[in-house]
Chains A and B, each alone.
Chain A
Amino acid sequence: MFRSFKRVAILVGILLGAALALAQSTPVTNSYDLVVTNQTTVNSCSVGEPVALNGTVHVSYSVSADNSGVNHFAMTAANNLTGAGQKTGTPYLASDSDDYSSNNNDSSADLTVELKSDLKSQGATPGLTLVQSLHIVVDTTGNISAQVVSNTTGCGS
C-alpha cells in the first residue's frame, strides 16, 4: 500500500516538473491596438505648425522564462498614422516600428519607450522625425496595454 502511494507520488512529481518545464519554455504572446485620435505634435523643423495625428499603434509582445527564473519580454510597437498640418493643410504619413526587450525576474513588464518614425510630408514641406513616447505595461496575467505619453518631433542635424 505504502509502495503504491510512493510510486504515484513520484509519478505526479515527474508530471508536475514536466508541465512546469513546458510552461517555462512556451512563449506567451499577446497584442494591443492603441487608437490615436487627433493627437497633436508640432512640426518645429520647417513651418512650425501643429500636426493632428490619427491612426493606430499596434503593440505586441512575447515572454518566455529561462531556467534561472529570468523572464524575457520581447516587444514590438508599430504605428500607422496620418497627419494633417493645421495651418497649411499638408498631409503627412508615418509607418514604422521598433523592438524592445526587457529581461528581469519580474513576472510583469512596465516600460516607457520611444517609437521613432519618419513623418513624411505629402506636400511641399520637408519631412521630419516623429517621436512617440509609449508607456507599455504587461501585467502579471499576461495582458498588455499601452498609451501615448507624448508626441514630439526631431529634425536630425
Chain B
Amino acid sequence: MLHRTKRAVLTLTFGFLAMMVCAPVAFGQAVVTDMQLTDQIVTNECNGEPVLLNGTLHQEMSFSTNPNGNTHSSFNATIHMNGYGQVTGVYYVANENIHNETNTKGVAQEQFFGTKIKLVSQGPQTPNMMDRATLHVVIDKNNVVKVEISKHQIKCN
C-alpha cells in the first residue's frame, strides 16, 4: 500500500516536471528580439520633408501562466534611432524606452501599442520632432513571437 502511494507521488512529480519542460511558456519564459530599422523614409507632416530613419529595436518579453490558463505578458522595448532630413540635412537622434503589460487567456495575442519617439534635433536652430509610432507584437498559437514598428507618423513636437 505504502509502495503504491510512493509510486503515485513519484509519477505525479515526474509528470509535473515533464510538463514544465514541455511547456516553458506556461511556467515562465523570456524572449528577446532585435530588429533593425533600415532606411525607412517617413514624411515629416510638420514641414513636408522626407526623413530617413535608421536604428535598432530591442525587445524583451516575459510570460507567466497561472493554473487557470491566464497569461501575464510583459513587454520592454528600447529604441535607438536617428533621422536625417532629406531636404534640410537636419540630423535627429532618438532614445526611448517602452513598457507594456497584458493579461490574456492563453498566450496567443496580437497587440498594437501606440507610443511616441522624440526626435531630438542636433541642429542649432531646428526644432525637435515627434514620431508617433505603433509597436506591433504578435504571439501565435505556437508561441512564435513577431515584433515590428508598424507605423511611423512624424509631426511637430
Residues of A near any B CB (own CB < 8 A)? 96, 98-106, 110-114, 116, 118, 129, 133, 154, 156-157
Tell me the bound Cα distance from A133 to B100 in angstroms: 8
How distant is B124 from chain A, measured CB to nearest CB, in Å?
A: 15
The 4 closest A-B pairs by CB, nearest first: A110-B103, A98-B114, A112-B101, A101-B112
Interface string of B121-133 (1 = CB under 8 A from A): 0000000101000
Contact B100 A113 (CB under 8 A): yes
Give A110 to B115 CA distance when docked, in angstroms.
18
User: In angstroms, how far is the closest chain B Cβ from the Cβ of A144?
Assistant: 15
In this assembly, does B7 line the interface, its C-beta being within 8 Å of a C-beta of chain A?
A: no
Which among B12-20, B45-53, B91-99 touches the partner chain?
Answer: B91-99
Interface residue from A99, A104, A154 paired with B114 (Cβ < 8 Å): A99
- Chief secondary structure at chain A's binding surface: strand
Assembly CA distance A96 to B156 (angstroms): 13
Q: Could you jot down 26 A-B contacts, CB within 8 Å?
A: A99-B114, A99-B134, A102-B102, A102-B110, A103-B110, A104-B104, A104-B108, A105-B105, A105-B106, A105-B108, A110-B103, A110-B104, A111-B100, A111-B101, A111-B102, A111-B103, A114-B100, A114-B115, A116-B115, A116-B116, A129-B116, A133-B99, A154-B118, A156-B94, A157-B95, A157-B118
Residues of A near B104 (CB, < 8 A) are 102, 104, 106, 110
Does B157 have its Cβ within 8 Å of any Cβ on chain A? yes
B143 to chain A, nearest CB (A): 14
- Not counting A99-B112, A111-B100, a sample of 8 additional A-B residue pairs whose C-beta atoms are within 8 angstroms of each other reads A100-B111, A100-B112, A102-B112, A112-B101, A114-B113, A118-B130, A129-B116, A154-B97
Known: A100-B112, A156-B95. A129 touches B118 (CB 8 A): yes
For B110, give its contact among A96, A99, A104, A111 (CB under 8 Å): A104
CA distance A101 to B116 in the complex (A): 16
Known: A154-B96, A157-B94. A106 touches B113 (CB 8 A): no
CB of B120 within 8 Å of the partner chain: yes
Q: In the complex, what residue of chain A is closest to B92 when comparing beta carbons?
A: A157
Bound complex: CA of A113 vs CA of B134, how far in Å?
A: 12
Is A157 a contact partner of B93 (Cβ separation < 8 A)?
yes
Q: Is B64 part of the contact surface with A, judged by Cβ < 8 Å?
A: no
CB distance from A154 to the nearest CB of B (A): 7
Provide the bound-state CA to CA distance between A53 and B102, in Å: 26
User: Is B78 engaged at the interface, CB distance under 8 Å to the other chain?
Assistant: no
Interface residue B109 (Cβ < 8 Å from any Cβ of A): yes
Assess whether A113 is in contact with B113, with CB atoms less than 8 Å apart.
Answer: yes
Query: Do A156 and B120 contact each other (CB < 8 Å), given the known contacts A110-B103, A114-B100?
Result: yes
From B114, B115, B128, B130, name the one whose CB has the most chain A CB atoms within 10 angstroms: B114
